[in-house]
Structures are given as structure tokens and as C-alpha cells.
Structure 1
Amino acid sequence: MTADPYAAKSSSAPSDAAHRPYREVADARGRVYRIGETDRDILGHSRKIMVYLPWIAMMAISVFEYAYGSAEDTLSHAHGWTQSNTFWILSVWVFFQAGIAFPAGWLREKGILTARTAMYIGSGMCLLGFLSLSHLSDVRLAIVGFGVIGGIGAGLIYATCINMVGKWFPERRGARTGFVNGGFAYGSLPFIFIFNYGFDTANYHRVLDLIGCYIMIVVFGCAFFFKDPPKNWWPADIDPLSYAGSQKSAVSMAKNPPAVKQYTPREAIRTGMLPLMWLSVVLTAGVSIFGISFQVDYAKDVGFGPLVAASSMGVMAVINGVGRGVVGWLSDRWGRKSTLVFVIVVLGLSQFGVIWAGDLRSEWLFLFFAFLSGFGGGAFYPLFAALTPDYFGENYNATNYGLVYSGKLVSGLFGGGLGSMVVAAWGYDGAYALAGGVSIVAAAIALLLRQPGRTAVPSPAG
């Protein structure tokens, strides 16, 4: 593989970095890499800050999804809502949180919406979401305020953070993406404790208002420093053609070679790989949401004690989040696809393990498989987030990953709503068995994934 350097136009770079020396090289397949500029040339400091700031922002918005369940009882008493009301508020939130990723990515790639602006808008919408949950007793208005507005706000922040870290670490994105994504789970831990021990009908206005303000301040502060690298940018100390410069990066790039070109969303769909990713996300996320929704009810149904029935949601959040970071790190060494298949299989087998523990009436075995399910139920998200630019490149990743992540739209419906129908018809054992089977199908689909355009030329050796 040989380099083909050619002159670069300064218009492809941000105005404040246009004067810095760089050149663009093309590999044997024609993919262009912009080399010569360091992260400090562009940012004025290390690119590591583009890991920590998105991580902090993701922890701030984690309260929406992972701590909401701990607040449901108090919200129901305060506003006179039913369990169905609180379920639909969260379901609508999931729908819009996942659904905004693609249109937001399209706006960003068209230059209409910058990363910083997306974060600013998202922070304000998150504040409005919690103010709605605090002050609106009409469930329809709460759905609009928290579900729609809050969901869009959180989705803008989520998508921007995930895409940001992937762009700044194209040579070893697995561990970084997993680390940032993990904050979206274990960042909810303090809020879970607040909702369980310091949240009641006497103070819910104040608590929810303060949480909304906290999210806005934290995200707004992080957003001030957000900046995308120039298109096609590649770290100056890593050769994108020979993978020389860093042993760790060389290993990761050998296992996860860069995309052969920058695929537009239309081109990515035509490869057939993006639709397979989307379908795998639909199935895997559906099983994950099913497990979160019915784990406590199943524990009560088989007669487990109150501690097990409560399912220690705080521990679950930690395991879910830490698991995302661990598998991201592993994927840099094992390969993204192999790690993804492993995680989905673990998720599937854990569903059958939950049934086994229930049949044996073993609380500790139930906790083990429940936590294993929590691990698998979160770990696949950063893998898809890293696999998408691995396959289709970084330049259109905001829209490409937005399409992949939109599978969660469907998952939220069949994981919760359809799941409750299956439980009613087949019982918990039948529902968990079906969930396990769905995971195995998702793993089989993941086995079919291959990097577009790299079949004719073998991946480079480490």
C-alpha cells in the first residue's frame, strides 16, 4: 500500500487551523487521510479532553433513563398518575431520544448545526424536560415536556458526544467510545440514591428543578470546549497506511482496519451492512429493554425477597456502565465484530439463566444472571457506535450512526409494550425464553457483518 500525497485546499479546514501545515494522502483504495496536524495544533491542548468532556455530559443526562424508574412512585403520588402513565412518559422519551440522532447528524454534516450549538440547545431542552416533570400534572403535557422536548434534548447531547469521541480517536476508538458511553449508565447512580432516599411529595418540585438546572449547567459548560476535527483528519503520530507509530494503535488498527472510504448514508445502506446493523440493534436493544422492564416483577413473581426484588438498580447501573467501557477496550484487541457477537451471546444466555435461577428459587443465582444481563444489555451500544465509523468512515458518521441507533425506536416499543403482552400470554418463563432466542438470532445476524470493500484485499497484519 503506497501513499499518494497531493495538495490540500485550505477550505477543507476550520478557519483558525487553515494556516497550519498538513497534507492529504490516499491509500491504495483511494481513501483520503489528512495528516501533519497534531491535536494540539487544532485544539491548543490534548485531544484527551474530547473524551472527558463528553463523558461528563453523558453522566449528567443519564438521570433521564436509568434513574427515572426510581422516581416513578413519588411522581405517581404527586401528580395522580397511573403506572401506565409513567410508562408512556418514558417510552415517548426513548422514542425521541433515539429518533433525533439521524436528523441531528444530517444537520451537523450540512454545517447547519455545530457540535457546540447542538449541546447548547440540548442542555436547554433537558432543563425544560425536568421542569415539565416537576410542574405539569396533566400527563399529556408531561409527555410533551419530558418525553418529547426532554427526549430530543438528551438525544442531541448523546449523539454529539458519541460522534465527537469517535472523530478525535479514529485509530483506537473502542476504549474511548466505551468509556464515554458508560457514563450514560453509571452516571445515574447518585440520582438513583436521591430518588430512593431523598425524594418525596414534599420536595419533588425542588429536587426536579435542581436536577434540570444541574444538567443544563454541566452540559453547557462542557459544550463551550467542543470542537470537531477537520474532515479526514488523522493523528500526526500514527501512519494511516503502515499503522506505524504506536504498538497499541497498530494492534487495534490491525483488528479494526479503517473504512476503505467515506460512505454517505445512501452508500452505507446500499452495502447491506448498515441495515444488518440496524436489525441487530432492534433485536438486541429490545431484549435489553425487556430485561430492565420486567426483572423486578419476575423476581417478585417467583417469591424472592425484597432485596432481590428491588434488584439493586444502583449496582445494575454501575455494571451496565462499566461493562461498556470494558468491552470497548476489549474490542480494540479482539476486534469489534468478535466482541459484539460475544456480548450479544452473553445477553442471550443470561435470559435462560434467569429462568433457571427462578426454577431453582436461587436468589444469588438470579442476581448473577440479572447482573450478567445488565452487562450484556449495555455493552453492545458502544460497540455499534465504534463499528459504524470502522465500516463507513468518520465524515458521515453522525448520520450513519444516527440511522443505526434509530433501531432503538422500535426496540422501545416491542421491548416494553410487546414484552408485557408476551408475559401475559406465555408467562415470565416463556417471555424470557423468547428474549434469549431473539438474542441468539441477533448474534447470528452480527456474524454476517463484514467491512464493505475489504473482501478483495486482506486486512493488514499487526
Structure 2
Amino acid sequence: MPTSSQSDIDHAARARDVLGFSRWWQVAAAAVMMGLISPYQYVWSSIESPIARSLALDPTALGFVFTLFVVFQAGSQFPVGWYRDRHGPRGLTLLAGLLAGGGYVGLAYATEVWQLYLLYSLGAVGVGIVYTVAVNTALKWFPDRRGLTTGVGTMAFAAGSALFIPYVRTNATVAGYPDVLRNMGLLIGVGLLVGALVLRDPPSGWADASDEGDEAAAESADAEETTDRAAEADRAETDGGATLTAGKQYTTREMLRTWQFWLMYAMFVFVSGAGLMLTAKSVSFAQNVGLNAVTATISATLIPIAGGIGRLVVGDLSDRVDRERAMAVSFTLCGIGLLAVVWFGVTNTVVGFLAAVAITAFFWSPQYTLFPSVVGDYYGQEHSSANYALLYSGKMWGGVFGGGVAGWLVTQTGWPTAFAIGGGFAVLAGLAAVLLREPSE
């Protein structure tokens, strides 16, 4: 069996033969695009208030905007993934530039609340397209480094908003926000246009085929047999416990027949629900348990930063250890961290509260690196866009829990109990990960 470093060289060389340049440029383009669309999820809270004041609306009237964003961003990904697996990423990425860029430009001129809902939902579809394209670019070009490369892209989505926040908050006034939205919309549109020119998908089977074997196969049947054996060895090879290329390329229908998918779907809903609750309500929780406004603001700032770092660190680690074990540890620590948020919040321990928020985000966010990597490991890369997009749709239900259900729980049980329930869900997901194993063909 070749060493992992040798397998890296082989995949890099094969990709260079196809692309004419390093495959890392594909990941770099995907990461830049993810950073550009990140304000839709992470900056809304900063522009919600000036928009409401400009339109003379109660801020609660815009509360459903973020819920619609989660639904359309997650719900759009399966049809997008299905199309991308068959037609490539370029046309979709161009469409995403129009939707995500145009959505922000349109918001700058919105005068009615229904226009806000419509434009943010259209922008969410653009975000969903970019997310699907970016994550699966890593899965398709890096069967040997799935955890690291999906971590790079999803880290950019989490942490990229940190570059926008100072600019947005400085100009988050009734007079200033239209220019902010127009400028960000134009930047998103142009950036995605450039990204569309760079991205492309590898030919089918490129990672399994040996270049030397292909040449010999043209000369004799004996060489074809040798190539088949080499390809089979490639499929069986692992890098730190993670399969490089799955032997069977599962269609979405075949994937749905495996119990592993449904267990992962439940895990995805539980973990995303806990994390999205923290993302959406960390400031409100801090204020309602008696922490000061500065602490609440710092907690909200820590979430995308810690989450971005966690995606990269845990994603890279999962390439070197058993990926299911990485899931179990990460999700369990996420749940324990959220329980610690409750404890330190109730006891008004500022340093402990902020540390707990950072730990929770650090170990929650890697779900967006670990799940696509496991989908690639278990079900192959040929249909990875559609397969992971279907799993990612669990974010819709996680968003419902983190938003509406969490709000209901707060009114029925109080803030500490609602957050503790979210922590319990994350721990359950971590325990469930122990049961995962690769499906048998």
C-alpha cells in the first residue's frame, strides 16, 4: 500500500494533468466565494434594525426573514446538487451571482416588507448554490483530503463575515445602510462571476484511474487487468482511517436505502438546531440572564471566529483519525459547551460564559466539514453534490428548532432550560456517531 504522502502526490499530479494548474486553485476560488456570501447569514442582525427604522416597522415584523433564509438556503441545495453533478458548476455559479448580488442591491431600494422577504429569499437561493458548489468542489477534487479542504471552504463561510462586520456596523444607520447593501451586492456579484470562470469538475473516475495503466490498457488486455487491480487498490486505500474513494458510487436513491443516512440526518438536525439556537439567540440569552451588553456583543463576535477555526482544525484532524470518532467527540463537546453556557450565564461568570460560547461554536461548526466528508467516504464522489445536499436539508429543521421552537421553549420554560435542551440534543448526536460505519455494498 502506498504511503499517504505518495497518494497525495498521485492525486495532485492527476488533477494537474486535467486542469493544467494546481487543484488548490479550485479550493481557493470556492473559499473566496463562500466568504463573499457569508454576510447573508452572519450580518443580518446588524442591518435588521436600520432597515426596520427606515420602513417604520417594528423589528419583530422582520423576525421571519432569517427563518426564510435558512429554509431557502438549505432547501435549494438538493436540486442544485442534482443539476451540478450532471452539468457542472459554471452556469449555477453565474446564476448565484445574480441572485445573491442582486438580492442585496435590491434590498437597498426596498420600500415594502414583502420586498424584503422576497429579496432575502432569492439571495438565500444564491447562497445555497454557492454553498453546494463550494463544498462539493473540495469533495470532487480532493478525495484524499476531504476533511481539510471542506474545512477551508466552510471556514470561509463562518469567518469571512468578520471582514464585513466592521464596515457594516460603522454604517448601520438609516442613511448609511443602502450604500452598504449596494456595495456588498456588487462585490458579491463580481466575485461570483470570477469564481464561475475558475471552477470546473473533474472527469468521471479521474481519481481511480492510473495514468500509466491507461496507456498500457490501450496496448494489451493484460495491462487492463493490472489497471483494474490498481484502481481497486486505490479505492481500498485509506488516509488516517478515511477512505480515499468509495468503491461504490451511490445514487441518491441508493443512499436513501441505507440506515446510515437516516441516522446522520437526525444527527444533523440535532447539532444544527443547537448551534443555530446559539447563533441566533446568544445576545438575547446573555441579556436575559443579567450579563452586560459588552459581554453579549463579544459572545456574538466569537461565534463565527471560533466556528471558522473549528471547521478547519477538526476537518484536518478528521483526515488523520477515524472520522466517526471525530464526529462523536466534536458533537459531544458542543453539547457540553452549551450546557456550560447555561451554567456560567446563570452564575454571571463573564470569562467562563465567553469561553463556553467559543468552545460550543468551535465544536458545533465542524459538522459542516465532517458530514460532507463522511458522505464522500460512504457514498462516493460521483453524486456527492446531490447526496450531501439532501443531508444538508436537515438544516431547515435545525433552523426551525433554533428559531421558532427555541423561542417557544423560552416562553414555556425560560432561557436556561431551553439552552440546556439544545445542549442535550448535541450530546445525543455525539453518542449516535459511535454507531456509524461504512455501508456494505
TM-score by shorter chain over 0.5: yes
Three-state SS of the structure 1 residue aligned to 2:414 is: helix
Which amino acid is 1:160 matched to? V
Question: Partners of 2:264 and 2:55 in 1: how far apart?
Answer: 40
Alpha-carbon separation, structure 1, partners of 2:300 and 2:231: 43
- Alignment of 1:261 with 2:237, yes or no, is no
Q: Is the 8 A contact 2:240 2:320 kept in 1?
A: no
- Structure 1 residue aligned with 2:55: 79
Q: How does 1:6-85 map to 2 (within 5 A)?
A: 38-85=14-61
Q: Which moved more, 1:395-404 or 1:83-92?
A: 83-92
For residues 3-52 of structure 1, the C-alpha deviation after alignment (integer angstroms, 9 at most, x for no partner) is xxxxxxxxxxxxxxxxxxxxxxxxxxxxxxx9997222211111111111
Equivalence for 2:314: 327
- What amino acid sits opposite 1:442 in the alignment? A
Question: By how many angstroms is 1:437 displaced?
Answer: 1.2
**Counterpart check, 1:155 vs 2:128:** yes
Q: Give the match for residue 145 of structure 1.
A: 119
Q: Is 1:251–1:332's contact at 8 Å kept on the other side of the alignment?
A: no
What CA distance in whole angstroms lies between the structure 2 residues aligned with 1:386 and 1:240? Answer: 21
Query: Which residue of the partner structure matches residue 447 of structure 1?
Result: 434
Q: Quote the Cα distance in structure 2 between the aligned partners of 1:182 and 1:319.
A: 10
Deviations 1:109-144 (A, max 9, x none): 333xx3011100001101221123221131112111
User: 1:336-390: per-residue Cα shift (whole Å, max 9, x none)?
Assistant: 1111111110110011101210232100000000111111221111110111111
* Mean CA deviation greater in 402-411 or 35-44: 35-44
Is residue 130 of structure 1 aligned with residue 104 of structure 2?
yes
Counterpart among 432, 437, 459 of residue 419 in structure 2? 432
Cα distance in 2, alignment partners of residues 337 and 86 from structure 1: 39
Equivalence for 1:190? 163
Is residue 353 of structure 1 aligned with residue 325 of structure 2? no
Partner of 1:397: 384
Partner of 2:402: 415
- How many percent identity over aligned positions? 31
Residue of structure 2 equivalent to 1:213: 186
Residue equivalent to 2:227: none
Aligned partner letter, 1:139: V
The 8 Å contact of residues 171 and 253 in structure 1, kept in 2 or not, is answered as no
Quote how far apart the aligned CAs of 1:243 are: 5.7
Structure 1 or 2: more helix by fraction = 2
Return closer, same or farther for 1:163/1:255 CA change in 2, 3 Å cut-off: closer
Q: CA deviation at 1:257?
A: 5.2
Match of 1:96 among 50, 54, 72: 72
Q: Deviations over 1:174-212 (max 9, x none)?
A: 101111110001100121112222231112111101100
Partner of 1:281: 268
Distance (whole Å) between structure 2 residues aligned to residue 252 and residue 70 of structure 1: 43
Residue 165 of structure 1 and its aligned partner are, at CA, apart by: 1.1
TM-score by length of 2: 0.89
Give the unaligned 5+ runs of structure 1.
2-33, 455-462
Counterpart code for 1:116: R
Say whether 1:309 aligns with 2:267.
no
RMSD (Å) for aligned C-alpha atoms: 2.3
In the TM superposition, residue 447 of structure 1 has moved relative to its aligned partner by 2.0
Structure 2: gaps (5+ residues): 2-9, 213-229
Q: Which residue of 2 aligns with 1:28?
A: none
Contact kept? 2:332, 2:431, Cα under 8 Å: no
1:68 alignment partner AA: W
Q: Distance in 2 between matches of 1:145 and 1:427?
A: 34
Q: Name the SS for the 1:333 alignment partner.
A: coil
Matched residue, 2:95: 121
Equivalent-residue separation in structure 2 for 1:133 and 1:290 (angstroms): 26
For residues 414 and 445 of structure 1, what CA distance do their matches in structure 2 show?
19
Is the contact made by 1:97 and 1:152 (CA closer than 8 Å) also made in structure 2?
A: yes
Which secondary structure does the structure 1 equivalent of 2:239 belong to? Answer: helix
User: How far off its partner does 1:83 sit?
Assistant: 2.7
In 2 relative to 1, CA 294–377 (structure 1 residues): closer, same or farther, beyond 3 Å? same
Partner of 1:226: 199
Normalised to the residue count of structure 1, the TM-score between the two structures is 0.85
C-alpha offsets along residues 281-337 of structure 1, whole Å, 9 cap, x if unaligned? Answer: 111101111111221111112221221021343332111111101111010111211
CA contact (8 A) 2:78 2:393 kept: yes
CA contact (8 A) 2:250 2:380 kept: yes
Amino acid at match of 1:54: A
- SS state at 1:311 partner: helix
On the 8 A contact 2:46/2:172 being kept in 1, the answer is no
1:316 and 1:437 mapped to 2: Cα distance? 19
Question: 8 Å contact 1:256–1:335 — kept in the other structure?
Answer: no
Secondary structure, in 3 states, of the residue corresponding to 1:224? helix
| Compared CA separation, residues 35 and 255, structure 1 to 2 (3 A) | closer
SS class of match (1:361): coil
Q: How many residues align?
A: 415
Aligned mates of 1:395, 1:243 — CA distance in 2: 16
1:193 maps to a residue whose letter is: P
Whole-Å Cα distance in 2 between the matches of residues 221 and 202 of structure 1? 31
